[in-house]
């Protein structure tokens, strides 16, 4: 068989009606595994930010659009402060990512072997694995990227322009989740203009899909206009920080190491060439290349394009399955076995690093040593208990007009959510959306200060004294324990809070 024939995906193929049951089973097992392990540690500092924002529902927040916080608000109503319950939405999102990945294989003409390999490769890739362990906006962002890619495959496979409505819906939901999905939409537009898909530009469904996306995004767009595009300024500031701190380094390396299972790299590369080599589906190649290059030149972080790899693995698995069918049975079995074994080995290592399998012993210590995000889940309850103990040791007259000023969004969320158990006052901060919520009209006369150096505390407040430290029972070194472990008790601010707030928000 000629190599070009391997890249052809017919409009209707015998494999398209093969059962998706293996993919369903893999996705369900993936979900169960994460549900069983997601309650081991505590909330991540990012989750605490979503939780605190979920208490102040709006059509936008300084760091992100509103959908993730809205889901967290729903989760709080349903489950309370339950790690497993609140992370259920993230698990379900990644279960759907695996299912849709298998459906993409089937729609491209792949059989059961290709579907099974894609589902396993996606499930055992570090990025979706991580997105199922925590409640992050990337968990849902990846789902919208994958659903847009699947809708594009159905659009091109069936030559049915009504699929532009589905693309519009998922694009609108994506824009309400994370603004970076605009880069996938730029890739989709480039794919339309640079391939035979340009015929859809004259279709009313194409423009209707755009209108639907805009309508879904409109509430957040109005919020952005009313708030002087504060989220844009936030993203600018965070991008500068990421570049200066080296967080944007290793962009291309981590496409292989994190965004997809390393052993599946030949498969997703084959998928990229498969899309380019297939005139019908070439649009999807541009949906990968354009965002990849834009983020590469803009020095974005590697995981911004994680949602493109399921569609590449889907096409690569189809190409690989057809290539295997040209070989002798012994070679076919041997190569397939090697691929499954290699992907499973990489997946096992990723699981040990990413998934909170144990709350004690060598498995916990190995994960904490490898995974900085897991370390950020440790110590919040101890921090809040320490603040409550400091409050309780104060004289009654100081407790009567007490404020708690925090220096980052993790501390804000911890005091706002976990502090309810101790009847702590609402935290005060100018960081991110806390700035929008303002400051007490009656300034507190005694202030417990978190997340600040002694120099900074003395600059902002009067009569500061060291009152305690941020500690955790496991002795884990994380952002709290390393960079700002001291807790101070201070008098009033040196300047009126209104003057401090006039400087604008701090981004973090």
SS (H, E, C) 64-86: CCCHHHHHHHHHHHHHCCCHHHH
Q: What are the residues whose beta carbons fall under 8 Å from the beta carbon of 370, sequence distance 6 or more?
A: 352, 353
Q: What pLDDT was estimated at residue 307?
A: 98
Q: What pLDDT was estimated at residue 386?
A: 97
Mean pLDDT of the chain: 95
Q: What are the residues whose beta carbons fall under 8 Å from the beta carbon of 202, sequence distance 6 or more?
A: none
For the chain, the straight-line distance linking the first and the last C-alpha, in angstroms and rounded, comes to 56
Q: What pLDDT was estimated at residue 427?
A: 98
What is the distance between the alpha carbons of residues 70 and 50, in angstroms, rounded to a whole number? Answer: 9
**Model confidence band, residue 20 (pLDDT cutoffs 50, 70, 90):** confident
Q: What pLDDT was estimated at residue 171?
A: 98
Closest of 484, 447, 439 to residue 463, by C-alpha: 447
On the question of pLDDT at 1 being above 50, the answer is no
What is the distance between the alpha carbons of residues 160 and 148, in angstroms, rounded to a whole number? Answer: 15
Instruction: Assign 483 to helix, strand or coil.
Output: helix
On the question of pLDDT at 8 being above 90, the answer is no
Average pLDDT, integer, range 308-330: 97
Max CA separation in the chain (angstroms): 86
**Model confidence band, residue 240 (pLDDT cutoffs 50, 70, 90):** very high
For the chain, what's the residue count?
508
Please report, rounded to a whole number, the percentage of residues in the chain having pLDDT higher than 70: 96
On the question of pLDDT at 412 being above 70, the answer is yes
What is the distance between the alpha carbons of residues 255 and 194, in angstroms, rounded to a whole number? Answer: 25
Give, for 191, the enclosing helix (H) or strand (E). helix 181-194
**Model confidence band, residue 51 (pLDDT cutoffs 50, 70, 90):** very high
Give, for 390, the enclosing helix (H) or strand (E). helix 380-392
Burial of 275 (0-12, 13-18, 19+ CB in 10 A): buried
Average pLDDT, integer, range 306-325: 97
- Bridge partners, residue 446, by sequence: 402
Of 2-16, 236-250, 414-428, 447-461, the poorest mean pLDDT is in 2-16
């Amino acid at each position: 068989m000629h190599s070009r024939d391997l890249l052809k995906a017919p409009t209707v193929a015998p494999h398209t009606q093969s059962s998706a049951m293996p993919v369903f089973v893999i996705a369900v097992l993936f979900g169960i595994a994460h549900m069983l392990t997601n309650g081991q540690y505590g909330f991540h500092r990012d989750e605490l930010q979503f939780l605190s924002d979920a208490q102040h529902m709006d059509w936008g927040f300084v760091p992100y659009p509103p959908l993730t916080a809205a889901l967290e608000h729903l989760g709080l109503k349903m489950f309370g402060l339950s790690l497993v319950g609140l992370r259920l939405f993230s698990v379900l999102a990644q279960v759907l990512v695996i299912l849709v990945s298998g459906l993409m294989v089937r729609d491209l003409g792949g059989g059961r072997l290709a579907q099974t390999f894609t589902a396993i490769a996606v499930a055992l890739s570090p990025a979706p694995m991580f997105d199922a362990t925590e409640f992050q906006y990337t968990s849902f962002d990846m789902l919208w990227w994958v659903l847009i890619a699947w809708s594009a495959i159905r659009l091109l496979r069936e030559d049915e322009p009504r699929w532009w409505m589905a693309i519009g819906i998922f694009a609108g939901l994506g824009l309400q989740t994370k603004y970076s999905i605009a880069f996938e939409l730029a890739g989709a537009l480039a794919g339309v203009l640079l391939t035979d898909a340009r015929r859809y530009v004259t279709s009313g469904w194409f423009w209707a899909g755009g209108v639907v996306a805009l309508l879904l995004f409109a509430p957040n767009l109005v919020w952005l206009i009313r708030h002087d595009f504060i989220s844009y300024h936030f993203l600018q500031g965070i991008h500068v920080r990421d570049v200066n701190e080296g967080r944007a380094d290793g962009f291309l390396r981590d496409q292989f190491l994190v965004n997809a299972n390393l052993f599946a790299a030949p498969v997703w590369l084959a998928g990229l060439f498969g899309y380019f080599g297939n005139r019908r589906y070439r649009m999807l190649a541009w949906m990968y290349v354009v965002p990849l290059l834009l983020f590469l030149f803009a020095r974005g972080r590697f995981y911004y394009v994680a949602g493109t790899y399921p569609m590449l693995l889907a096409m690569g698995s189809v190409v690989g399955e057809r290539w295997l069918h040209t070989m002798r049975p012994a070679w076919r079995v041997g190569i397939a076995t090697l691929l499954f074994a290699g992907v499973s080995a990489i997946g096992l290592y990723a699981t040990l690093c990413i998934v909170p399998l144990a709350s004690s012993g060598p498995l916990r210590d190995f994960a904490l040593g490898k995974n900085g995000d897991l370390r950020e889940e440790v110590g919040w309850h101890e921090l809040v208990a320490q603040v409550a103990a400091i409050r309780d040791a104060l004289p009654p007259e100081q407790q009567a007009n007490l404020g708690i000023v925090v220096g980052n969004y993790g501390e804000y969320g911890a005091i706002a959510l976990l502090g309810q158990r101790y009847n702590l006052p609402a935290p005060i901060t100018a960081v991110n959306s806390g700035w929008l919520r303002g400051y007490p009209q009656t300034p507190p006369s005694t202030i417990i200060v978190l997340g600040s150096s002694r120099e900074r505390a003395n600059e902002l407040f009067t009569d500061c004294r060291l009152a305690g430290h941020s500690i955790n029972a496991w002795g884990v070194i994380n952002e709290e324990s390393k960079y700002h472990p001291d807790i101070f008790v201070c008098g009033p601010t040196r300047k009126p809070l209104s003057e401090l707030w006039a400087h604008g928000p701090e981004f973090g």
